[in-house]
Amino acid sequence: MRMTVIGTGYVGVVHAACMADIGHDVLGVDIDEERIAALTEGKAPIYEPGLNELLVRTVASGRLRFSTYVTEAARFARLHFVCVGTPQMPGGEAADVRYVDAVIDGMAPHLRPGSLIVGKSTVPVGTTARLGARLRAVAAHSEIAWNPEFLREGFAVADTRRPERIVVGVESRRAEATLREIYKPMLISGVPFFSTDPATAELVKVASNAFLATKISFINAMAEVCDSAGADVVALAEAVGEDSRIGHRFLQPGLGFGGSCFPKDIRAFAARAEELGAGEAISFLHQVDEINTRQRRRTVDLARNLVGGSFSGRRVAVLGAAFKPESDDVRDSPALDVASAISREGAEVRVHDPEAVDNARPRFPELHYTLDVPKACEDADLVLHLTAWPEYRKISPAELGPLVRDRKILDARNTLDTAPWQSAGWSVNALGRPPMTGSYAA
């Protein structure tokens, strides 16, 4: 089937490439000419495992091509996926949907009769109804539906090929039939398909993110209690997660969530609920947000204590810049937030990350960057483990020990095996856990 994908950011480029890979003819559209030129050559604009190879294959096949012209998109197909960003409103907490609005307004006069626009962007509930009215005023025989994405950065290609569920909010049987045809290979393989009204589909996305964010903040709130009680939050989380009603996923205590979705989505959800008169029902999301932000401050406070109460004149190594592993995304990165705060207090901060250094450098130019872990840790008074890259679990504490000034590491992600660090004479610290001190004989 022919389709277009409007917006070639994180969601759009993955969706376009995966749809082409399962046999559809896809035109990706974006106003960024440099990005379109790179995509046309099969070069991914982001780091995402498997994406670059997928782009090369689908572009070479002829099933995927790119353009900067919305009018070309309107002529190319009757099915259009909208994947543009919905960032937080400047100076507020609501979602900024101007880019979604611009796509509808720009395409509507040029649409072929019977066109279907399908939104994938995360939007406030009621957006489909509002945009549907605007669309019908210009293109009476076209309609709009919503099909939220549930991609995890680092697993986006796999999540698109084999999603846990497909949710569509439609107003006609024709729209549902079209989307069932689009996703037919997934449905044949047994992926659940939920067809509902647009408002419910919009809410499924934000409700899912709000629940997961709440689970993360809950275990981090427990970490604060553990600090006060002298308990171990990692052991607590392992035991609590064995309850089948709760489970282990998203119950990892640490530095908290970041990125382009959870923080802005829970704020936008709360803001929209206020507009609808239901703000009190989800007022707890403000506390979820505050707990998450507080984890960053608590990490800085613990790091400061570990270097004697002041960062002035200290050298701190930071392992991780991306907001999560297997990504080069540094938007609202907890790791860089902590690193920058420590730098502002007078420390020399050296940051290592396998993929995100180029994205981090222009946003936080005051930090020092390196692609070499030993170089980052050289003469460090403290090592901070802030992004849970698998590479960091392979570090040899014994080999790293002679390079640092003081064998102290703060595992803010609680993913390191502490035993070899202690055996190599390191003092291992983490939020919600008693200090773990090793012994080392020179």
Q: Give pLDDT tens digits for 197-225.
A: 999 999 999 999 999 999 999 999 999 99
- Of 149, 177, 196, the one marking the end of a domain is 196
- Residues facing 335 on adjacent strands: none
* Pair (205, 168) in one structural domain: no
In terms of Cα–Cα distance, which of 114, 103, 97 is closest to 73? Answer: 103
- Give 258's pLDDT tier (boundaries 50, 70, 90): very high
Q: In sequence order, which residues have a C-beta less than 8 Å from that of residue 187 and are 6 or more positions away?
A: 166, 180, 193
Angle between helices 10-21 and 51-61 (to 10 degrees): 50
Question: Is residue 201 a contact partner of residue 169, using CB atoms and an 8 Å limit?
Answer: yes
DSSP E strand boundaries for 174-255? 193-196
Share of the chain above pLDDT 90, in %: 96
Q: What are the tens digits of pLDDT across the range 83-102?
A: 999 999 998 999 999 999 99
Question: Annotated catalytic sites, by residue?
Answer: 261
- Of 175, 196, 217, the one marking the end of a domain is 196
| Host H or E run for residue 348 | strand 348-352
Share of the chain above pLDDT 70, in %: 99
Q: What are the tens digits of pLDDT across the range 271-292?
A: 999 999 999 999 999 999 999 9
* Pair (201, 183) in one structural domain: no
- Residue 418 belongs to a domain with what CATH number? 3.40.50.720
| 266's tokens | 């829970």
The whole domain housing 187 covers 2-196
Angle between helices 334-344 and 284-306 (to 10 degrees): 50
* Pair (159, 41) in one structural domain: yes
Question: Is residue 398 a contact partner of residue 420, using CB atoms and an 8 Å limit?
Answer: yes
| 270: pLDDT strictly greater than 50 | yes
Distance CA 31, CA 37 (A): 11
Distance CA 68, CA 30 (A): 5
Distance CA 255, CA 411 (A): 9
Q: In sequence order, which residues have a C-beta less than 8 Å from that of residue 30 and are 6 or more positions away?
A: 6, 7, 8, 9, 12, 36, 66, 68
| Host H or E run for residue 334 | helix 334-344
For all residues of the chain together, what is the average pLDDT? Answer: 96
Distance CA 1, CA 215 (A): 40
Give the global pTM.
Answer: 0.93
* Pair (190, 202) in one structural domain: no
pLDDT at 201: 98
User: Is residue 62 classed exposed, middle or buried when 0-12, 13-18 and 19+ CB atoms within 10 A define those classes?
Assistant: exposed
| 189's tokens | 């393989």
* Pair (68, 148) in one structural domain: yes
Q: What are the tens digits of pLDDT across the range 343-390?
A: 999 999 999 999 999 999 999 999 999 999 999 999 999 999 999 999
- Give 70's pLDDT tier (boundaries 50, 70, 90): confident
Question: What does the angle CA 362 – CA 366 – CA 88 come to, to the nearest 5 degrees?
Answer: 50
pLDDT at 440: 53
Please report which residue ranges of 46-197 form alpha helices under DSSP H.
51-61, 70-76, 98-107, 127-138, 156-161, 173-182, 184-188
pLDDT at 437: 80
pLDDT at 439: 59
pLDDT at 71: 87
Q: What is the largest CA-CA distance in the chain?
A: 80
Average confidence (pLDDT) over 167-173: 97
Q: Reading across the β-sheet that carries 368-370, which strands appear in turn?
A: 368-370, 348-352, 315-319, 382-385, 408-411, 427-429, 436-437
Distance CA 26, CA 62 (A): 9
Q: 303: helix, coil or strand? A: helix
* Pair (222, 368) in one structural domain: yes
* Pair (354, 404) in one structural domain: yes
C-alpha 275: how far from chain center = 26
Alpha-carbon distances, residue 283 vs 160, 203, 214, 217 (angstroms) = 32, 16, 12, 14
Question: Is residue 351 a contact partner of residue 342, using CB atoms and an 8 Å limit?
Answer: no
* Pair (205, 184) in one structural domain: no
| 52: pLDDT strictly greater than 60 | yes
> How many CB atoms lie under 10 A from the CB of residue 160?
22
Q: 236-248 burial by CB neighbour count: b if 16+ within 10 A, else e?
A: bbeebbeeeeeee
* Pair (246, 306) in one structural domain: yes
Total structural domains within the chain = 2
User: Is residue 290 classed exposed, middle or buried when 0-12, 13-18 and 19+ CB atoms within 10 A define those classes?
Assistant: exposed
Least confident of 70-74, 117-121, 219-223, 431-435: 70-74
DSSP for residue 324: S
* Pair (97, 225) in one structural domain: no
pLDDT at 241: 97
Q: What are the tens digits of pLDDT across the range 384-418?
A: 999 999 999 999 999 999 999 999 999 999 999 99
In terms of Cα–Cα distance, which of 196, 174, 189 is closest to 22? Answer: 189
Distance CA 85, CA 101 (A): 11
- Of 130, 163, 196, the one marking the end of a domain is 196
* Pair (358, 291) in one structural domain: yes
Phi/psi for 426 (5° steps) reads -90, 145
* Pair (179, 226) in one structural domain: no
- Give 441's pLDDT tier (boundaries 50, 70, 90): very low
pLDDT at 383: 98
Q: Count of alpha carbons within 13 Å of 33, Cβ hemisphere only? A: 0
